Amino acid sequence: MTDDIRWEVVEESTLSLPDHEAIAALLGRAFPDWSHWYVGGRSWAGMQPERRVLARDAGGVVLAHVGIRRMFITVGGRDVLVGDTGLVAVSPRLQGTGKGRDLMERAHAVLEGLGVPYGFLGAGENRVPFYANLGWHVFDDAVADYTAFTAEGAGLPMTDQGGWMVLPVAERLEDWPAGPIWLNGQQV
């Protein structure tokens, strides 16, 4: 049932261990190939979010989730403040019901509240159309360097091209700098 969904925006420091366990359970269901990351109370893959948008059912089961953290990234040699957005998940049983759109509309409101010029996320090729329909813009030729973490915690330098997306929040897309992207660490 989707009628009893309760949406909330929470700050990371307010989450309890049962909250983290409920989020981790959703992430494990939503990303089965990565479920070994989301065990116990580990509800993040790289950098922990600053804010999270959650949808819960009446029993407290987390049905949808997105994490956001303010950070500076370097684009074409210029530091740019972004709301790094990740860990976007909707329970498999609710996919295709519009809950993903609801989730990302709430994420946009959080980005506005944080006062960031842009939202930023890395999306798999098959997810780009979903985000593009919500106002995110893909930079197919953008190359990004970042630190990827293993489930064991080791940091590995990575370079990826494609799937990097920007959402204009307080600035115009035309003001986004050209050039390679350096994430200066890990992603949400």
Q: Which tokens belong to 137?
A: 């813009």
Give the tens place of pLDDT for each residue, 45-103: 777 899 999 999 999 899 999 999 999 999 999 999 999 999 999 999 999 999 999 99
Answer whether 0.85 is exceeded by the pTM. Answer: yes
Name the superfamily (CATH) of residues 6-182: Gcn5-related N-acetyltransferase (GNAT) (3.40.630.30)
pLDDT of residue 1: 44
DSSP-derived secondary structure letter, 139: E
pLDDT bucket at 182, cuts 50 / 70 / 90: confident
pLDDT in tens, 11-32: 999 999 999 999 999 999 999 9
Choose among 42, 78, 173, 44: nearest CA to 120: 173
Strand, coil or helix: what is 1?
coil
pLDDT (0 to 100) of residue 48 = 87
Cβ atoms of residues 98 and 61 within 8 Å: no
